[in-house]
Amino acid sequence: MRKFVVAAFSLLFCSPVLWAKDTPQEAPQTARQALIEMFFSKEPGTFLKHLPAATRATLEKSGALATLQQYSLLAGQLQTQGGKSFQTFETGSVMLAFEDPKTSQKVEVVVENDALQGEQDDIELSFHTYKENQAQRTPFMPRVVFSMKMESGLWTLNEIAVTITLPLADPDLLKVISDGMKARTVGATPQMQLQTQAQTPMRTPGSDASILTAVRMILGAEATYSATYPAVGYTCTLSDLDGFGAAQASEHQAMLINSGLASGRYHGYTFSLSQCTAAGFRLTAAPTGESYGRRAFCADQSGAIRASADGSAATCVSSGTPVP
């Protein structure tokens, strides 16, 4: 009998299988979480932690490892100075946001694509700036792709690709070039030319494709919002879908779309929500200002998008044609 008790005791306290059932398993870190930790964690050594082993070995041999170890300390200091104005988000369309209360300027790093395939995840990011909730347009549209790769059970940064789109027919870009040439013609100094370029307003309306993308983003955000907050249903307040502000998502700041789109004025269009209930809603996007003469778009909870050639939201709702 004594031998039986000892054997049972050993099995109970030494078997990892039995203990595994009662021990909650921590969710594995995502590539996006690893990227945020690498660049913005306050913990020392996190930057080097997510570098490939071969890279770390080379840095150690070259003597540069000690210098790079200071990066995490610098990142922590920057976050401390930024306070609540500097935030990172592990889910949602916005990954990082920073706002300067003194100037009312805001910068958002938006996840355009997150392509996870097995042990590789390519995260494509774009950068957006706002002044008093109005998007600041620029003909230069940089994008960065961080290729994360699993190595020994840890996500590491394997490759960085940077692309800059330069639309040669962009009216703002052509105006900047034209103003610069005129300034040189009258003998302006390089300093004066730079000042002229900096003061040139960037108000280029978005293409139909960019407006349709924005409409689809709101449709997806509304579906997620309704599922997350069933007691509220669909919201008629775009700012409820905003992707920046609170430390934690809530029904008044669900962190689903970027702040420029949440303002309701985006790429020369006005976006409006109406007739919101637990069962449905209506979304319209009508051209304003320099976008007059363009098509208006409308949609509802079904996800179907329609358009009206006269630019009227009312016409779109009543007799708009389907958008393929």
Q: How confident is the model at residue 123 (pLDDT cuts 50, 70, 90)?
A: very high
End-to-end CA distance of the chain: 77
Q: How confident is the model at residue 135 (pLDDT cuts 50, 70, 90)?
A: confident
Q: How far apart are CA 294 and CA 315, in angstroms?
A: 13
What count of residues does the chain have? 324
**What's the mean per-residue pLDDT of the chain?**
78
More confident of the two residues 185 and 218: 218
DSSP 42: S
How many other CB atoms are there within 10 angstroms of residue 109's CB atom?
17
Alpha-carbon separation of residue 95 from 17, 108, 161, 247, 259 (angstroms): 38, 8, 18, 13, 12
Say what the pTM is: 0.51
What average pLDDT does the segment 134-158 reach?
84
Strand partners, 132: none
For 217-254, the pLDDT digits (tens) are 999 999 999 999 999 999 999 999 987 665 678 888 88
Domain positions in the chain are 31-165, 168-202, 208-322
Longest CA pairwise span in the chain (Å): 106
User: Which distant-in-sequence residues (6+ apart) come within 8 Å of 306 by Cβ?
Assistant: 297, 298, 299, 316, 320, 321, 322, 323
Alpha-helical runs (H) found in 115-169: none
Q: How confident is the model at residue 87 (pLDDT cuts 50, 70, 90)?
A: confident
Q: Say whether pLDDT at 165 is over 90.
A: no
Q: Is the separation of the CB atoms in 232 and 217 below 8 Å?
A: no
Q: Is the separation of the CB atoms in 299 and 307 below 8 Å?
A: no
Q: Say whether pLDDT at 212 is over 80.
A: yes
Token pair for 303:
């996800």
CATH: 1.10.3470, 3.10.450, 1.10.275, 3.30.390. Which one for 31-165? 3.10.450
Q: Say whether pLDDT at 306 is over 90.
A: yes
Q: How far apart are CA 225 and CA 188, in angstroms?
A: 54
Q: Tell me, what's the pLDDT at 27?
A: 83
Q: Tell me, what's the pLDDT at 76?
A: 54
Q: How confident is the model at residue 17 (pLDDT cuts 50, 70, 90)?
A: very low
Q: Say whether pLDDT at 138 is over 50.
A: yes
Report helix, strand or coil for 130.
Answer: strand
More confident of the two residues 42 and 33: 33
**β-strands 134-135, 141-151 pairing:** unpaired
- Main-chain dihedrals φ then ψ at residue 131, nearest 5 degrees: -125, 115
Most confident segment among 78-92, 154-168, 220-234:
220-234
